[in-house]
C-alpha cells in the first residue's frame, strides 16, 4: 500500500493532481478557522468550551462544517447548502417535468441542472446564514452562555455577516469543482471527508482525557473498527443482474453480441436517508427554541423528540431511515427508464422479455435488496448512537453512522480512482 502511494507521487501527472487536491483541502480548512467580521472570537471560544450547542440540527450542520459553525467562521455553513440543494433538485425531477426532461438530455441538460443547483445553493446559504446569525444574536446558539458572541448586532454588521457566510459557501462550491476538474476524486465528497475527518483527533483526545478515559477510548475504538468493517463489507456488496446485447448492424459495422451486468448495490441510497431522518427529527427541537419553555407541548417535545436517548426518538429515527431509504432509491433508480434504455440498444436479461417484464423484474429485485439495505443503514446509525449514550459521551461527536459511512465511502472511491490512474500508466496498483 505505502509503496503504491510512493509510485503515485513519482508519477508527474498524478503527483500534480494529488498535491493540488491536498492544497485545496488545506485552503478549505483555513477558511473554517477565519472568523466572520462582527464576531467576538474570544467570546465564541469561551462559549464553545463552556457548553457547545444543544440543538441536534445545528450539531449536524456543525459536523459537516468541520466545527466551523460553532466558530461562526467564514465557512460556517460548510457544504450543507450544496448538499441540500442537490437533494432538492433531484426530488423536483419527480414533480417538475422540465427537470426530468433536462436530466434525459445528457450533458447539456445536466449542466443546466447544475446551474440551478448553484443558484439554489446561494439562496439556501442566505437563508441558513440569516437563521444562524439570528439564533446567535438571541443567545439560542449557545444557551446560558454568559458572554455575547456578536459584538455589534447592528443591521449593517448582520448584513455583512450574511454576505460573508454566503460568499464562503460559493467559494466552497468553486473549490469542490476545482478538485473534480483538476484533482483526484469527487470534489464535494472530498471536502465533506476533510471536514468530518478533521474532528476525529480532537474528539478521540477528549474521550481519552475524560472520566474512565482509557476504557471508553478502547470501547469507542472497537466500535468504530466494527462499524468501518461492516460499512466496507456492505458497500462492496452487489447484486449483478446479467444483461446480454444482441448483434446488430449499424451501417457497415456489426455491434453488440456482448455480455455485461447491472450492478445493484445493497445500499443504493447512500447516506442520504440518515441525513434526512436526522434533519427531520431535529426540526421540532429547533422550533421549541423560539417558544415558551414552560408550555406543556414544549416540555413534551423536549422529553420525547429532542432527547436522542428517548425511546420515541430512537423508534422514529429507525422508521424514518427505512422510509427514506426506499423513497430516495425509488427516485434515483427508475426501473422503467433502465428497461427502456436496454430495449433501445438491444439488451435483455436472460429469461426475461424486454420492455415491461424487464422493468417489473428490476423493481422486484430492487424491493428485495432494499429490505436488508435499509436495515443496514438503521443498524449502522444506531450502534454508535446507543454506544455513546451508554458511555455518557454525548451525541454530537463525529463518530455517528452518517460520518463513518461518508468517510469510508469517500476513502474507498478515492483509492479506486488513484488505482485506476496507476493502472493506466502500467504501474502496479494497491492490490497485488
Whether residue 122 is predicted with pLDDT greater than 90 in this model: the reply is yes
State mean pLDDT over 321-347: 84
Q: What is the arrangement of strands in the sheet containing 259-265, beginning at the earlier edge strand? A: 259-265, 238-245, 347-348
The domain limits of the chain are 1-199+406-432, 200-397
Instruction: For residue 354, give the nearest of 366, 376, 368, 338 by alpha carbon.
Output: 338
For position 214, what pLDDT does the model report? 79
Mean pLDDT, the chain, whole residue set: 79
Could you report the per-residue pLDDT of 58-67, keeping only the tens digit for each? 565 666 666 6
DSSP alpha helix (H) spans, 11-143: 12-31, 41-50, 56-64, 68-71, 80-95, 97-104, 107-137
Under 8 Å CB-to-CB from 101, ≥6 apart: which residues?
109
Q: What is the DSSP letter of 11?
A: S
Chain position carrying cell 456488496: 237
CA atoms within 13 A on the CB side of 193: 21
Whether residue 350 is predicted with pLDDT greater than 70 in this model: the reply is yes
The lowest-confidence range among 68-72, 93-97, 206-210, 220-224 is 68-72
Instruction: For residue 128, give the nearest of 192, 49, 51, 75 by alpha carbon.
Output: 75
Strand partners, 249: 254
Superfamily name and number for 200-397: SecY subunit domain (1.10.3370.10)
Residue 285 binned pLDDT confidence (cut-offs 50, 70, 90): confident
Whether residue 429 is predicted with pLDDT greater than 60 in this model: the reply is no
CA distance 1 to 38: 47
**DSSP per-residue letters across 235-261:** HH-EEEEEEEE--EEETTEEE---EEE
Whether residue 321 is predicted with pLDDT greater than 70 in this model: the reply is yes
- Which of the residue ranges 68-77, 119-128, 134-143, 152-161 has the most confident prediction, judged by mean pLDDT? 119-128
Whether residue 172 is predicted with pLDDT greater than 80 in this model: the reply is yes
Instruction: For residue 158, give the nearest of 127, 118, 191, 130 by alpha carbon.
Output: 130
For position 50, what pLDDT does the model report? 59
Contact between residue 313 and residue 304 where contact means Cβ atoms under 8 Å apart:
yes
Residue 101 binned pLDDT confidence (cut-offs 50, 70, 90): confident
Chain position carrying cell 467580521: 37
Could you report the per-residue pLDDT of 42-53, keeping only the tens digit for each? 777 777 665 554
Strand partners, 244: 259, 348
Could you report the per-residue pLDDT of 1-49, keeping only the tens digit for each? 566 667 777 777 888 888 898 999 888 888 888 888 877 777 777 776 6
Instruction: For residue 383, give the nearest of 238, 236, 224 by alpha carbon.
Output: 224
**150 phi and psi angles, rounded to 5 deg:** -115, 115
CA distance 336 to 339: 5
Helix, strand, coil percent content, the chain, rounded in steps of 5: 70, 5, 25
Instruction: For residue 278, give the nearest of 385, 184, 154 by alpha carbon.
Output: 385
Query: Fold identical between 1-199+406-432 and 200-397?
Result: yes
Chain position carrying cell 427505512: 322
Length of the chain: 432
CATH number belonging to domain 1-199+406-432: 1.10.3370.10
For position 341, what pLDDT does the model report? 83
For position 163, what pLDDT does the model report? 92
Residue 417 binned pLDDT confidence (cut-offs 50, 70, 90): confident
Amino acid at each position: 500500500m505505502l509503496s503504491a502511494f510512493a509510485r503515485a507521487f513519482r508519477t508527474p501527472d498524478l503527483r500534480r493532481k494529488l498535491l493540488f487536491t491536498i492544497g485545496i483541502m488545506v485552503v478549505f480548512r483555513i477558511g473554517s478557522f477565519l472568523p466572520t467580521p462582527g464576531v467576538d472570537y474570544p467570546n465564541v471560544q469561551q462559549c464553545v468550551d463552556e457548553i457547545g450547542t444543544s440543538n441536534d440540527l445545528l450539531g449536524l450542520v456543525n459536523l459537516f462544517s468541520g466545527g466551523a459553525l460553532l466558530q461562526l467562521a467564514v465557512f460556517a455553513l460548510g457544504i450543507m447548502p450544496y448538499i441540500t440543494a442537490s437533494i432538492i433538485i433531484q426530488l423536483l425531477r419527480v414533480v417538475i417535468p422540465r427537470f426530468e426532461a433536462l436530466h434525459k438530455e445528457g450533458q447539456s441538460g445536466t449542466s443546466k441542472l447544475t446551474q440551478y443547483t448553484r443558484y439554489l445553493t446561494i439562496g439556501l446559504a442566505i437563508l441558513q446564514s440569516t437563521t444562524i446569525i439570528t439564533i446567535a444574536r438571541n443567545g439560542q446558539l449557545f444557551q446560558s452562555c454568559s458572554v455575547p458572541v456578536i459584538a455589534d448586532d447592528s443591521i449593517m454588521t448582520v448584513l455583512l455577516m450574511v454576505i460573508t457566510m454566503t460568499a464562503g459557501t460559493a467559494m466552497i462550491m468553486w473549490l469542490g469543482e476545482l478538485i473534480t476538474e483538476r484533482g483526484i476524486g469527487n470534489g464535494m465528497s472530498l471536502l465533506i471527508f476533510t471536514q468530518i475527518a478533521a474532528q476525529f483527533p480532537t474528539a478521540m483526545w477528549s474521550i481519552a482525557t475524560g472520566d474512565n478515559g482509557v476504557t471508553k477510548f478502547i470501547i469507542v475504538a472497537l466500535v468504530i473498527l466494527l462499524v468501518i468493517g461492516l460499512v466496507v463489507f456492505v458497500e462492496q456488496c452487489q447484486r449483478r443482474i446479467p444483461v446480454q446485447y444482441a448483434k446488430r448492424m449499424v451501417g457497415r459495422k456489426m455491434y453488440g453480441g456482448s455480455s455485461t451486468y447491472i450492478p445493484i448495490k445493497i445500499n443504493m441510497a447512500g447516506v442520504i436517508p440518515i441525513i434526512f431522518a436526522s434533519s427531520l427529527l431535529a426540526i421540532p427541537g429547533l422550533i421549541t427554541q423560539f417558544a415558551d419553555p414552560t408550555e406543556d407541548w414544549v416540555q413534551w417535545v423536549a422529553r420525547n423528540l429532542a432527547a436522542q436517548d428517548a425511546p420515541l426518538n430512537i423508534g422514529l429515527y429507525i422508521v424514518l431511515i427505512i422510509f427514506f431509504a426506499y423513497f430516495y432509491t425509488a427516485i434515483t433508480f427508475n426501473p422503467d427508464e433502465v428497461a427502456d434504455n436496454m430495449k433501445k440498444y438491444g439488451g435483455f436479461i436472460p429469461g426475461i422479455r424486454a420492455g415491461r417484464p424487464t422493468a417489473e423484474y428490476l423493481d422486484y429485485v430492487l424491493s428485495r435488496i432494499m429490505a436488508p439495505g435499509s436495515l443496514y443503514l438503521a443498524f449502522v446509525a444506531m450502534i454508535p448512537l446507543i454506544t455513546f449514550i451508554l458511555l455518557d459521551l454525548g451525541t454530537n461527536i463525529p463518530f455517528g453512522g452518517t460520518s463513518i459511512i461518508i468517510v469510508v465511502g469517500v476513502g474507498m472511491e478515492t483509492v479506486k480512482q488513484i488505482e485506476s490512474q496507476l493502472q493506466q500508466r502500467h504501474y502496479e496498483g494497491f492490490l497485488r
